[in-house]
Amino acid sequence: MRGAAMSFTAAASGLVVFLLSVSVVQSQYGMTYSSTKICAVKGSTVEIRCSYTYPSTSNGHVNTVEKTCWFTTWKDLKPVDVTTDSEYAGRVEDLCENNTCTLRIKNLTESDSVEYWFSIKTRQYTHLGVPGTTLSVTDAPKPPSVSVSPSAEIEEGSSVTLTCSSDANPAANYTWYKEDGNADLSFVSEGPRLFLSSIQSSDSGQYYCTADNLLGSRRSEPIFIDVTYAPKLPSVSVSPPAEIEEGSSVTLTCSSDANPAANYTWYKMNGNRKLPPLTTEPKLFFSSFQVSDSGKYYCRADNLLGSRRSESISIDVKYAPKLPSVSVSPSAEIKEGRSVTLTCSSDANPAANYTWYKEDEDSLKASGQIFTITDFRAEHSGSYSCGAQNKLGRSNSTLTLIVVAGSSTMTVNIIGTTLGVLMLILVFLLSLWMRKKKALHSTTEAHEPVEIETLT
């Protein structure tokens, strides 16, 4: 309440309102009210003071005050004595001392908002001090209520209006706040309405409004704004994030910001051909990842408002070299003195390094995928081992060059093994073949015709 001649302090029930003095002169009787206007808070206590003077004699007689009264609104054309009226019962006191009387009213109600007059009665005259003091009983704002329009589901991109209202006298001023991640309130705007145009997912959260006037401030209950939206671009993570070795377990995880929550589907790419989904869970799990599982994967996130596909992620499994294959060039019979090229290859990731050794020789014959022997001679015959190795392991294959005795050419036979077992089988088969050939030769000689001499 504003006024140069008025001041007050208001709070909870029991707080007394003290007032500055403003003099009001009433005819020959002096009357001074503490204030002509008072504002007080509902439920509190107010004191209205009036000091008075009067003539000590009147018409030659001693003049004394016989009674003091406080009056208010008129009933039946008569002013109401506050100290005896039922509406004030138990709530008022009239305290007088040294020509100053104080009307104390407790537990103020809005119906106490009227004008109050002080009256004195002497032996010969009753004086009512008018104008009196006007009391206005106000209240701090009631807890404000918040409404949202539209009241249905709020989709991203739509417009939303929040309205704050409170029963307050004097009228309240409104301020909007939003709760941040630390449960603190951040200022949004002022005014009874908060308008959010093209609302975004980041606008989701709890909102509050406060209603303030000179008598206090009240905050509303929180209202939660839940913005629904289609899935954002899904992200894909791989565990373990480091190098993946063949046989290890691998988990691919798909996640997307979506409201309502997204459903997920995993796919593996195969050129332009669409493959059936691998799983409809957010995680794709491989208990033992194999070379055949290598490739590109992607996931799709879906909800009622839309669908979004992730970027493709390549999974490249690492593995030790597989059993090497060995080839010889030329592949036909090789004449003595010609060059021979041996080539070794193995499926490995990372790529394998190659080494060549000759049976019964400890020294390295060559490094690299290709080993060339120029001017091939009988002493070059024997078994050659190709080793393929990377950081995950090693695998070997053996190649045997055999020279057929008594021939000017050599027959090349290739046997590949990692453990040398096939070499023993080859020697055994060659032994059987030689024995069979010798037996066949003996049988042929036994059937040659024998010349017989006839005696005459």
pLDDT value at position 440?
Answer: 53
- Residue ranges of E strands in 192-305: 193-196, 205-213, 216-219, 223-225, 227-228, 235-239, 244-245, 250-255, 263-268, 283-286, 295-303
What domains appear along the chain, each with residue ranges and CATH number? Answer: 16-138 (2.60.40.10), 145-228 (2.60.40.10), 235-318 (2.60.40.10), 325-441 (2.60.40.10)
Kindly state the tokens that stand for 197.
């145009």
Q: Give phi and psi for 163, each to the nearest 5.
A: -120, 130
Q: What is the pLDDT along the chain (456 residues), one digit of tens a residue?
A: 333 223 222 333 333 333 333 333 334 778 889 899 988 888 889 999 999 888 887 777 788 888 888 998 766 667 888 988 888 999 999 999 888 999 999 999 888 889 999 988 887 778 888 888 999 888 878 899 999 999 889 999 999 999 999 988 788 999 999 987 777 889 999 999 999 999 999 899 999 999 998 878 899 999 999 999 999 999 999 999 888 999 999 999 999 999 999 999 999 988 777 778 999 999 999 999 999 999 999 999 999 999 999 999 999 999 999 999 999 887 766 677 888 899 999 999 999 999 999 888 888 888 999 999 888 888 888 888 999 999 999 999 988 876 554 444 444 444 433 334 445 555 566 666 666 666 555 444 444 433 323 233
Indicate the helix (H) or strand (E) that contains 11: none
pLDDT value at position 437?
Answer: 63
- β-pair type (244-245, 317-318): parallel
Contact assessment for residue 338 and residue 409, using Cβ atoms and an 8 Å cutoff: no
pLDDT value at position 429?
Answer: 66
CA dist 177 and 80 (Å) reads 49
pLDDT value at position 260?
Answer: 95
* Amino acid making up residue 384: Y
- Provide CB contacts within 8 A for 211, sequence distance 6+: 141, 142, 143, 144, 164, 166, 168, 172, 173, 174, 217, 218, 220
Rounded to a whole number of angstroms, the distance between the first and last alpha carbons of the chain is: 172
pLDDT value at position 17?
Answer: 38
pLDDT value at position 54?
Answer: 84
Tokens 């007689």 locate to 61
pLDDT value at position 140?
Answer: 79
Contact assessment for residue 22 and residue 36, using Cβ atoms and an 8 Å cutoff: yes
CA dist 177 and 38 (Å) reads 34
